[in-house]
């Protein structure tokens, strides 16, 4: 792999020739805003927010999908770049509900963060807004299509696990939306509540329902722990207020870690002070259940009881 010499915002750097401008900029601590980019997913250059100006090119290029070339001179904050990003963000805000005061994602939302950084606001207008399509059917995930910015990260991350592929785009233009299976609710669909999609959603269109109303992004403390349920060791954050652990939320499934509901609930049971009742999906319906059934340990506990009873009968400890 050869190296190339490039200049980004006046700073010279030598980088491998197989990386993108966005990745090269990161090496210089230059943050380029992006809503659809994720280092663990295919690059689709859908949101266009990461555009940069390259000297000698007559159009802006998306930095996530453009590889570095020797001698490139790149500007990530030129007037044209900033104006273009502001236009893209304003269009998103113009069809987005003004719900930051109560949105569970506030403080951890990329649309909110970039709107702040680029000095943009929601605007009053009489034009169309994205339709209100709230899916409250799952006890684990709240899906709010009105807040969706159609970055497609949820679709790409769900389909990374071969037997899932639950989510996809449906319809066209302004009516485009993310659907589960054949436009079913999350409850009716084949969704397994692994929360991969929730961890990658950059806005409040998919949120962890079990953390809702308990803690906000800037509240309390959080500690990262590894799941003990299997060898993948997915990471979870234990969210706490004072000495009380109030919720467990999944971290993004990096390095091939699949994430699963069982791992998340086991972690919840082990760490959360007052865990909510778990729910199992049976024939397309969520049913409240108990922890032994949910974690599939009923048979194991029964077997242990029998062995202990036999030992007692035999007079052993």
**For residues 130 and 96, is the Cβ–Cβ distance under 8 A?**
yes
3-class DSSP state of 196: helix
Distance CA 252, CA 258 (A): 9
Residue 141 buriedness (CB in 10 A; 0-12 / 13-18 / 19+) = buried
Query: Count H helices, E strands: the chain?
Result: 8, 15
- Judged by CB under 6 A, the chain residues 254 through 313 that form the site for ligand SF4 are none
Q: Contact between 43 and ligand SF4 (CB under 6 A)?
A: no
Distance CA 309, CA 60 (A): 74
Q: Pick between residue 52 and residue 93 the one whose CB is nearest to ligand SF4.
A: 93
Q: Which stretch binds ligand SF4 (CB under 6 A): 4-12, 20-28, 99-107, 234-242?
A: 99-107
Distance CA 150, CA 140 (A): 21
Q: Pick between residue 30 and residue 180 the one whose CB is nearest to ligand SF4.
A: 180
Q: Contact between 234 and ligand SF4 (CB under 6 A)?
A: no
Kindly report the three-state secondary structure assignment for every residue of 108-125. Answer: CCHHHHHHHHCCCCCCCC
Distance CA 51, CA 46 (A): 11
Q: Which of 72, 203, 248, 272 binds ligand SF4 (CB under 6 A)?
A: 203
**For residues 23 and 29, is the Cβ–Cβ distance under 8 A?**
no
Contacts of 242 (CB under 8 A, 6+ apart): 220
Q: Can you read off the two tokens belonging to residue 187?
A: 């409850």
Q: Contact between 33 and ligand SF4 (CB under 6 A)?
A: no
Q: Which of 76, 195, 240, 267 binds ligand SF4 (CB under 6 A)?
A: 195
Closest approach, Cβ 58 to ligand SF4, in A, equals: 31
Distance CA 41, CA 257 (A): 13
- Judged by CB under 6 A, the chain residues 69 through 98 that form the site for ligand SF4 are 96-97
Q: Which of 142, 197, 265, 272 binds ligand SF4 (CB under 6 A)?
A: 197
Q: Which of 150, 238, 272, 294 binds ligand SF4 (CB under 6 A)?
A: 150
Closest approach, Cβ 87 to ligand SF4, in A, equals: 17
Q: Contact between 210 and ligand SF4 (CB under 6 A)?
A: no
Q: Pick between residue 15 and residue 200 the one whose CB is nearest to ligand SF4.
A: 200
Closest approach, Cβ 66 to ligand SF4, in A, equals: 22
Q: Which x/- pattern, by CB under 6 A, does the window 174-193 give for ligand SF4?
A: ----x------------xxx
Closest approach, Cβ 158 to ligand SF4, in A, equals: 3
- Judged by CB under 6 A, the chain residues 127 through 146 that form the site for ligand SF4 are none
Distances (CA, A) of 168 to 41, 180, 182: 15, 7, 9
Across 216-243, b (16+ Cβ under 10 Å) vs e yields beeebebeeeebebeebebbbbbbbeee
Strands 141-144 and 206-208: antiparallel
Q: Pick between residue 158 and residue 215 the one whose CB is nearest to ligand SF4.
A: 158
Q: Which of 6, 24, 32, 205 binds ligand SF4 (CB under 6 A)?
A: 205
Q: Contact between 164 and ligand SF4 (CB under 6 A)?
A: yes
Closest approach, Cβ 86 to ligand SF4, in A, equals: 16
- Interacting residues with ligand SF4 (CB under 6 A): 96-97, 99-100, 103, 105-106, 109, 111-112, 147-154, 158, 164, 166-167, 178, 191-197, 200-201, 203-206
């Amino acid at each position: 792999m050869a190296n190339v010499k490039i200049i980004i915002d006046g700073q010279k750097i030598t980088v491998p020739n197989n990386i993108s401008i966005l990745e090269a900029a990161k090496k210089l601590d230059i943050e380029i805003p992006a809503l659809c980019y994720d280092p663990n997913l295919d690059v689709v250059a859908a949101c266009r927010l990461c555009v940069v100006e390259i000297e000698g090119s007559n159009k802006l290029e998306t930095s996530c999908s453009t590889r570095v070339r020797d001698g490139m001179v790149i500007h990530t904050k030129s007037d044209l770049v900033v104006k273009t990003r502001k236009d893209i963000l304003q269009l998103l805000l113009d069809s987005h509900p003004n719900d930051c005061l109560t949105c569970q994602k506030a403080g951890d939302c990329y649309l909110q963060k970039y709107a702040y950084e680029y000095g943009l606001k929601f605007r009053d207008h009489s034009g169309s807004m994205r339709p209100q399509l709230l899916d409250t059917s799952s006890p684990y995930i709240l899906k709010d299509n009105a807040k969706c910015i159609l970055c497609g990260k949820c679709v790409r991350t769900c389909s990374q696990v071969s037997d899932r592929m639950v989510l996809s785009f449906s319809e066209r233009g302004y009516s485009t939306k993310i659907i589960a299976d054949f436009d079913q609710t999350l409850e009716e669909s084949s969704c397994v509540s692994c929360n991969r999609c929730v961890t990658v959603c950059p806005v409040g269109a998919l949120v962890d329902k079990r953390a809702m109303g308990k803690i906000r992004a800037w509240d309390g403390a959080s500690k990262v722990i590894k799941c003990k349920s299997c060898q993948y060791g997915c990471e979870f954050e234990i969210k706490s207020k004072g000495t009380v652990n109030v919720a467990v939320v999944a971290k993004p499934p990096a390095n091939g870690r699949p994430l699963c509901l069982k791992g998340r609930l086991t972690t919840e049971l082990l760490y959360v002070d007052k865990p909510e009742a778990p729910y199992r999906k049976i024939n397309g319906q969520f049913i409240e259940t108990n922890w032994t059934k949910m974690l599939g340990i009923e048979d194991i506990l029964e077997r242990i009881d029998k062995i202990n009873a036999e030992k007692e009968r035999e007079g052993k400890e």
